[in-house]
Structure 1
């Protein structure tokens, strides 16, 4: 549970935190992880907004949130359905809405988002100015922020760490992509190796062959 809470709050490995950014069924919870996870959901929303254009649909935003934990995943290159993110969002759309609607309403109230209509598929416009960009960037956990800032968050002269400032929206988006791809790539390699060792060579090979076949079909079907 300590490892879970640490990853949710800091994105140290961005594995468990990535899982909890999507709808899951929690079976055992001694730490009230749903409350802890609110920090993770807000950070995921901020990261997805930084990767979104000035106007987007609610579904587009959920797809961006869902895709965060697949950036840099080696399996997405050859062993996963290319439409995996789209299918996850379509199959769990109302669950995504239940998770993220309070945060979207909060950002609307703060003036970061403008909701054109909120029916079955809301359409949003966001403020892409530098002030809003730095606000969203500051909502990300400290570990990815530190890595985006080259490992140094700086100091205000009194020994208190300060948040790095971003000079443009494009810089912020590129930082998010670079750091998350690196984290997800490392996690996906560890998971693949663990699965291979746990299942054994022959079982792992058969599983991989099935995944690759499914991935190939998704890329050849129009």
Structure 2
């Protein structure tokens, strides 16, 4: 597993004249029809490696706000109230069908709620309160978190907790994707499942795609509850990487839903839960169909920032309220020129890109020494620890011209996802305990048997 790249303290320069010349005018204008994408994506931001101490050091005050999905205030307060029952957390988000629906409102109503005593805000938001709420809690010092959490919530842990926080932390970080799950936990009358992860593990996966276990969850709309500026920057890179990787899998023309389905499906490729029927067979389709507005909010500005991708119907995105129109499925086009696509290959996350390179090394029969020299030349970091501007090399251009590129990228995804997910699933039996693990597996199998 690759190590987290060193970060150099950099403060981005302000560009006031650039922001005054944005493609879209301010929201006070009667002609406004779309958010100002250039305000949150100043040129060159990807080619810096900042270490930020607070949000004022972001490249722009609106940078990364596309990640902040809206919910009603009462629901958000309920979620934050849950997190206040835990030791200090640096970054946290809630995700899954308990936060954003994956079925029609009428279908989501249930006769039995998993929540023993939920507040009204949860019942209203979930239209019946029928879904466990999933959380990811990121902390800078996992062992310290578990030590405090074991003291306050020993019942959250299986028998592993009796071995102490050092063992719990080792199990978390030493196996699978570096995540420790505690499922079927009741907090404030609400049934939750929460995962604990170290901040460096989260940041590394967002930047390099070591496992796609955490990066993949953030490819979809989530409710971020506690923020950290370096993670906001890392996740913005992660979202752009998801678009670029998906473009390599898609044809020249495609629709919004095809793009968002491809992005959503990245982290499910090779996941044993999908292979062995432990997930709803239409999970990806349901996520995209019922969250199309949030996907647009998350990705539209990023799509517009890419030089090789355009909407075919530019007039449609200039209409007021187009993001709320769930019936339209706009078409897009990408530039299939190998030169353009070689830059996409070069900008893939480090660990993932190396898997793609290795597949083509074997296909082309490149000698080991020559291949190692190519890898050294393609490093993201410069001699001073900053990031180099990624430009497609001759090897990248050769890869981009290959007709089997989508198949090779798919293989690299499977290689990235399968083993960490499989180990994480086995680890879950230990960390959850036999009874909770059986309950979780049973529910997943029931979802897998559903036909719609």
Which TM-score bucket, shorter chain as reference?
0.7 to 0.9
Change in 2 beyond 3 A, CA 1:153/1:138: farther
SS of the counterpart of 1:26?
strand
Q: What TM-score, normalized to structure 1?
A: 0.87
CA distance in 2, matches of 1:85, 1:11: 20
Q: Which structure has greater helix proportion?
A: 1
8 A Cα contact 1:129 1:169, kept in partner: no
Change in 2 beyond 3 A, CA 1:2/1:197: same
Q: Say whether residues 1:215 and 2:448 are aligned partners.
A: yes
Q: Which structure 2 residues correspond to residues 1-222 of structure 1 after superposition, within 5 A? A: 1-77=199-275, 78-107=277-306, 110=307, 112-117=308-313, 118=316, 119=322, 120-150=328-358, 152=371, 154-155=373-374, 160-161=377-378, 163=393, 164-165=395-396, 166-218=399-451
- Which deviations, in whole Å up to 9, do the C-alpha atoms of 1:118-155 show, x marking residues without a partner? 45422112222312221221220121111211184644
Aligned-residue Cα RMSD (Å) equals 2.2
- Which deviations, in whole Å up to 9, do the C-alpha atoms of 1:15-63 show, x marking residues without a partner? 1111111111122223442222111111110011111112111111001
8 A Cα contact 1:50 1:172, kept in partner: yes
Instruction: Return the structure number with greater relative CO, CA threshold 8 A, min gap 6.
Output: 1
Shift in Å, 1:3: 1.5
Structure 1 unaligned runs (5+)? none
Structure 2 unaligned runs (5+)? 1-198, 317-321, 323-327, 362-370, 380-392
8 A Cα contact 2:352 2:416, kept in partner: no
8 A Cα contact 2:254 2:331, kept in partner: yes
CA distance in 1, matches of 2:442, 2:248: 36
164-173 vs 45-54, which deviates more? 164-173
22-31 vs 88-97, which deviates more? 22-31
Change in 2 beyond 3 A, CA 1:193/1:17: same
Q: Which structure has greater strand proportion?
A: 2
Shift in Å, 1:189: 0.8
8 A Cα contact 1:155 1:161, kept in partner: yes
Change in 2 beyond 3 A, CA 1:35/1:160: same
Shift in Å, 1:210: 2.7
Change in 2 beyond 3 A, CA 1:182/1:130: same
- Specify the alignment match of 2:94 in structure 1: none
SS of the counterpart of 1:27?
strand
